[in-house]
Every structure is written in structure tokens, then in C-alpha cells.
A = this chain, B = another copy of it.
Amino acid sequence: MSLLTVGTVAFDDIETPYGKAGKIIGGAATYISWSASYFTDDIRLVSVIGDDFPENELDRLKRRGVNMEGLQIKKGEKSFFWAGKYHTNMNGRDTLDTQLNVLANFDPILPDSYKDSEYIMLGNLTPQVQMRVIEQLTSKPKLIALDTMNFWMDIAWDDLHKVLKKIDVLIINDEEARQLSSEYSLVTAAEKIMEKGPKILVIKKGEHGALLFHGNDMFYAPALPLKEVFDPTGAGDTFAGGFMGYIAKTGDTSAEGMKKAIIAGSALASFCVERFGIERISHLSQEMIKERVLQFEKLVHFDPVL
């Protein structure tokens, strides 16, 4: 089924303890699309780039079933650029440079063919841009998921809260959940956040896994412990893409369906961090994904205790 995704398509400059990667392909919508493409082949991309973006990278995504009709290409302008350096233990990073470029005045325009999309993944962008996407939909989607970040809580609190009322699933990390709710306990944080609109909350805890709150149901998905985390960039977006791609594939938005989607997203994210940028997640097979998902199943399985 159709998955509409909006987010950045960009260049990243990344330094981790394992090396440097200069001006590689990145952006939330790039990671989301690659990841989702392993589960569904009707992906509709909304984003903006300059005329400096390599065409062959767009072609690679097109071959994965990603519709580019909603991708604006601004002549004579430059694509969004982010440079960051990870700390020694990968548990934090410093932003070295952010060049908004084409993103500064981004107005997401939905082609008519996108307006009936069934599943919507709103990648991290200003809440106003996310709202603009929702407003252009002509039929009610089956599920709208949204990612956001601390920055928008700092400078666009009201707009963020307006868009929270329009969505079904909020996908944020633990730090963001605590800031959004002013609660330290993630259980209490989830209760408060779900009063703001979304009936479903996914809290990403990085190397500690992810929590799903779906009505009264609570689910804890582990992250796969890895020997080396090469580059964490895009892991959250890859998770979101796998999660929504899996839901678009199955059409199952029940708690049980979403638990499986969380594992699908976690499996894709575990690949993402094994190489720089999209290097790993743009070269997967269904067989590799299946094997990784089985590792997750094995990782948490235990026989009845009492």
C-alpha cells in the first residue's frame, strides 16, 4: 500500500571514531525511503534539493519504487548540508555545520497523485511544513506518523502541538519524550504525550532498543548488541522507514502488528549503523533482512519461567 514520506534529501559530512565520510548522501527522507523500500514498492517522496544532487542517487531510489514526482529540484541552488562529529563512544555528537540552502524556504507541494496516500511518514522538519503536508491530503490516511526533535520543542512549541493533534503515531527518542512531557519516567511521559494527540507512541532508546505504547499495551523491543557501531547517522530514520514500510505492507495497525513493525524497523536500523551513511542499507537482500529479524527473535526469546 502507498507510503508518503516527507523529509530532507541532503548531503552529510560525518566523522566518527572509525573514519571520515565527506559529502555523502543523507537526509531523513533518503533513509526512510531506502528502508521502507524493502517492504513496500509504492513510496511517494516529498522533498527539495538543489541542482547539485547526483542524479544517479535519485535513479537508485526510483528503481526501488520511489516516486519522485514530489521532489522539487531548485535550479542554481544547493541541497541541504549537515556536518557532524561523533564523540569517542558514539553516545553523542557535535554539529559542526548546518547549511539550510534549499530547505530555508521549503514549501512541500503534494502532486495530485500523492493526495490519497494511505500511510504517511512525516520526517523531522519544521512542524509547519509537516502540517502543510497533512492539509493537502484529500482522503483520510490510515495512519500518520511523525518524527520531531528537541529543537522544535525549543522554538516551535505551539506549532508542534498543533500538528501532534493531527497524527496517530509519534516517533521520538527518550530525551525528546522527557522534554516534551517534563517527565523522567518514560511510562508517565508516554501518558502525558498521548494526551497531546497521538494514540500511539514509539520511544527510541538507541543502543537500548525501543518502546511502543499502543493504547494500554506496552512493548519493549531490544536493539541488537553490535560489536561495532560504525556510524549512527540515519539510524532513527531507517528505523522509522522500516516501521512504516512494514505497516504499509501488512496494513496491520493493531498493537500486535505494530510490535512486528518495530522489530522490522529495528532490524533495518541495526544494518544502517554498520557502515557510513546509506552504504549498508542500500545493499540489502530479503534474505539478509530475514536472517537479521530471526536474530532479534532469538535475542529476546525465553521459555515460560514459572
Please give the residue numbers on chain A whose beta carbons come within 8 Å of chain B beta carbons, in ascending order: 88-90, 184-188, 205, 208-209, 211, 218-222, 225-229, 246, 256, 259-260, 262-264, 267, 289-290, 293, 296-297, 299-306
Contacts and interface: CB of A to CB of B under 8 A. Distances in A.
A304 B297 contact: yes
How many identical subunits does the complex contain?
Answer: 2
A300 B225 contact: no
B300 A260 contact: no
Nearest to A186: B225
A264 to B, nearest CB: 6
20 contacts: A90-B184, A185-B225, A185-B227, A185-B228, A187-B225, A208-B209, A209-B220, A209-B222, A219-B300, A220-B225, A220-B299, A220-B300, A221-B300, A222-B222, A256-B302, A256-B303, A259-B302, A260-B303, A289-B306, A300-B300
Contact of A219 (B205, B227, B302, B305): B302
A11 to B, nearest CB: 28
A306 B39 CA distance: 10
A227 B304 CA distance: 26
Nearest to A295: B218
